[in-house]
Structures are given as structure tokens and as C-alpha cells.
Structure 1
Amino acid sequence: MPLTFPVLYGSVRTERQGIVLANHVAETLRGRGHDAPLIDPLERRLPLLDRMYKEYKGDAPPVLEELAAIYKAADGFVIVSGEYNHGIPPALKNLLDHFLEEYFWRPSAIVSYSAGGFGGVRAAMQLRMTLGELGMPPIPTIFAVPKVGQAFGENGAPADERFAQRFDKFARELEWYAEALKAKRAEGVPY
């Protein structure tokens, strides 16, 4: 069954390396038959958080209205995050914090990366806490990509031959949670 998984990317750096990973994730999900729009804060140019989307009471900036519509149609979210000083990139935190109810009762999946060997797992641990608080519980598996600058060839394909197999397992887990929560949302939510 086709599902909708917005892919939220967190870096706005000039020479960001994770954008290749974020594009690959979105393309791979589309290849599985899903709708997977890439939400890039560099393209969206969100304002720094002053008010949440809901606090605009119908007078939100167009970029927030567009994102709200995408998020409300979502079955789950994929968060692609680098690790900045052992934490979450500020652009990603800003992107996430504009919304709340739009995330409720939908799973999230964390794809983390770093230039070093840990694959951004320290940021992923912080994301687990943040995503749970936002109402989109993360699936158990984290898809970590170490040495992201070397993870893809010039053609955009993963350099690691096991990448596709690892991602397939990760995606199947996300699909399972998304289908289960979608069925439960159709019955109603706890509050």
C-alpha cells in the first residue's frame, strides 16, 4: 500500500554532504511506491521560530501552510540528520518545532550521518527524545551512515554494497509501523 513519508532534512550549510543521503532516501522510498517529498530547510527558508503554526490562527506564512498540508497527509516521517557538536542541527530543530499536532500518531524514522565513524548516532539519540515529545515516536532501528562524504559514488549510488539491504530492512520496519498506526488512527485516537 502506498504511504506518504515526508523526508525532513536538517542542514543548511554551504557544502552540506548529507543532502546526497537525503535525496537517496527520498528516491528509494519513491522507488518502493511511496510519496516521499524532501523537505529541505534551505529551500523552504523557514523563519526562526517565533510562533508555532497553530498560533497563527489561520494567518500563517505560506511556507508553513504548505508544510502543514504535507504533514497532515503524512503516514510517517523520515528525519535525516547530521551531527553538529554531538547534537541536532539547529535548522532541523527549527523545522521540527514549528509544528506539533500535525505529527501526532505517526511514526518517525531516523537516518543519521556524520563525517566521522559514528554515523551521527549522538544526534540520533537526542532526536529520539525530541520526536517522541512531538508525538511521532521513532521506530526502534536507526539508519546510521558514517563517513557520509565517502558513502556515495559520483553517480549518487551508495558505495557500500550492503547499503540497499540495510535500508530495505529499515524501510520495512517503518512501513510496518506506519500501516499499524494508520489503521489505529482510522479507529480514533486516545485524545
Structure 2
Amino acid sequence: MPLNLPVIYGSVRTERQGIVLARHVAEALRKRGHDAPLIDPMERRLPLLDRMYKEYKGDAPPVLQELADLYKAADGFVIVSGEYNNGIPPALKNLLDHFLEEYFWRPSAIVSYSAGGFGGVRAAMQLRMTLSELGTPSIPTVFAVPNVSSAFDASGAPTDEKFGKRFDRFAGELEWYAEALKARRAEGVPY
């Protein structure tokens, strides 16, 4: 069953290396038959959070309205986050915090990365808390990508031969949760 799974990326650094990973994840989900638009803060240019989408009461800026509509139609979310000083990138936190109810009752999946060998897992643990508070609890598995600068070749293909198998298992877990929660949302939500 095709799912709508926006891929939310969080870096706005000039020489960001995780964008290759985010593009690969979105494309891999599309190859599995899903709609997986890439939400890139460099393209969306959201202002620093002053008011949440819901606080505009029907008069939100077009970029927020577009994202709200996309999120309301989503079956789940994939969050691609680097690790900045043991935490998540500020652009990602800003991008996520503009919304709340739009995430409710949909699972999220965390793809983390770092320049070092830990693959951004410290940021992933902080991100779990944030996503849970937003109403989009993360699936148990984190897809961690260490040494992101050498994780892909010049064409954007993974250099690790086990990458595809690991990703398929991760994506299968997200699909299971997204399909289960989609079915339950169709029956109604607790409140």
C-alpha cells in the first residue's frame, strides 16, 4: 500500500553533507512505491519561530500552509538529522516546532548521521523526545550513518554494501507502523 512519508531534513550549513543521505532516503522510499517529498529548510526558508502555524488562525504564510497541508496528508515522517554538538541542528528544531497537531497519530522514523563513527545517535536520542512530544513517536529502530562524508560515492550511491539491506529493514518497520496507525486513524482518535 503506497504511503505518504515526507522526509524532513534539518541542516542549512553551506557545505552540508547529509543532504546526499536525505535525497537517497527519499528516493529509496519512492522506489518502494511511496510518496516521499523532501522537506529541505534551505528551500523552505522558514523564519525563526515566532508563531506556530495554528496561531495564524487561517492566515498563515504560504510556506507554512503548504507544509501544514502536506503534513496533514502524511502517514508518517522520516526525520534526517545530523549531530551538532551532541544535539540536533537548530534549523531542524525550528522546522519541526512550527507545527503540532499536524503530526498527531503518525509515526516517525529517525535517520541520523555524523562525521564520526557514532552516526549521530546522540542527536537521535534527543530527537526521540522531541518527536514524542510533537505527537509523532519514533519507531524503535534508528538508521544511523557514520562517517557521512564517505558514506556515498560521487553518484550518490552508498559505499557500504550492507546499506540497502539495513535500509529495507528500517523502511519495512516504518511501513508497518504507518499502516497500522493509518488504519486506526480511519476509525477515530482518542480525542
Same fold, judged at TM 0.5 (above): yes
1:127-180 residue CA offsets vs partner (Å, 9 max, x unmatched): 000000000010000000000000001111000000000000000000000000
Counterpart for residue 107 of structure 1: 107
Partner amino acid, structure 2, of 1:58? G
Partner amino acid, structure 1, of 2:4? T
SS in 2 for 1:115: coil
CA distance in 1, matches of 2:41, 2:78: 14
CA RMSD of superposed structures (Å) = 0.3
- Identical-residue share of aligned pairs (%): 85
Counterpart for residue 35 of structure 2: 35
Kindly state the Cα deviation for residue 107 of structure 1 after the two structures are TM-superposed.
0.1
CA distance in 2, matches of 1:155, 1:10: 22
Partner amino acid, structure 2, of 1:159? T
Name structure 2 gaps, 5 residues minimum.
Answer: none
Partner amino acid, structure 2, of 1:53? Y
CA distance in 2, matches of 1:88, 1:100: 18
Counterpart for residue 83 of structure 1: 83
SS in 1 for 2:142: strand
Counterpart for residue 124 of structure 2: 124
Partner amino acid, structure 2, of 1:37? P
Tell me the TM-score normalized by structure 2: 1.00
Partner amino acid, structure 2, of 1:5? L
Kindly state the Cα deviation for residue 15 of structure 1 after the two structures are TM-superposed.
0.1
CA distance in 2, matches of 1:166, 1:15: 27
1:82-130 residue CA offsets vs partner (Å, 9 max, x unmatched): 0000001000000000000000000000000000000000000000000
CA distance in 2, matches of 1:167, 1:125: 19
Counterpart for residue 184 of structure 1: 184
Partner amino acid, structure 2, of 1:169? R
Moved over 6 A (4+): none
1:62 maps onto 2:25 in alignment: no
Partner amino acid, structure 2, of 1:70? L
1:23 maps onto 2:32 in alignment: no
Kindly state the Cα deviation for residue 3 of structure 1 after the two structures are TM-superposed.
0.1
Partner amino acid, structure 1, of 2:62? P
Tell me the TM-score normalized by structure 1: 1.00
Kindly state the Cα deviation for residue 185 of structure 1 after the two structures are TM-superposed.
0.3
CA distance in 2, matches of 1:182, 1:103: 12
